[in-house]
Amino acid sequence: GQQLNQSPQSMFIQEGEDVSMNCTSSSIFNTWLWYKQEPGEGPVLLIALYKAGELTSNGRLTAQFGITRKDSFLNISASIPSDVGIYFCAGQGSGGYQKVTFGTGTKLQVIP
């Protein structure tokens, strides 16, 4: 089946630093999504991407849909303590409704 691998698995960064994480797939996706999960809660959608090469921002977050359609990247600029959480990428294929597959997650910890 489809697999989405995220890297790094976890990271510790200093407040104010920029963060980069990525997601790679064994399959092509038509839609890429990035979610954030905080402790004790469900994932919350951050950004949705629909076109190869697309670059989309949401505040300090910027995500890109890779041109091969098999990868996506998320950057967080000037990290703050509330950025702590697990970041998941997710992909959806084409052809009618295709179920959304989630990546393995990147756990982010921010040191004040």
In the complex, the residues that contact other proteins under the rule CB under 8 A are 31, 33, 40-45, 48, 88, 90, 92, 97, 99-105
Q: Which amino acid is at 104?
A: T
Tell me the C-alpha distance between 69 and 50, whole Å.
10
| Phi, psi torsion values for 81, nearest 5 degrees | -55, -35
Structure tokens at 83: 């950025």
Phi-psi region of 21 (alpha: psi -120 to 50; beta: other; left: phi over 0): beta
What minimum distance in Å lies between the beta carbon of 77 and other proteins?
24
What minimum distance in Å lies between the beta carbon of 13 and other proteins?
22
Give whichever of 77 and 98 is closer to other proteins, judged by the CB atom: 98
Tell me the C-alpha distance between 105 and 91, whole Å.
13
What minimum distance in Å lies between the beta carbon of 40 and other proteins?
7
Give whichever of 2 and 77 is closer to other proteins, judged by the CB atom: 2
Tell me the C-alpha distance between 6 and 21, whole Å.
7
What minimum distance in Å lies between the beta carbon of 92 and other proteins?
5
Give whichever of 45 and 55 is closer to other proteins, judged by the CB atom: 45
Give whichever of 34 and 79 is closer to other proteins, judged by the CB atom: 34
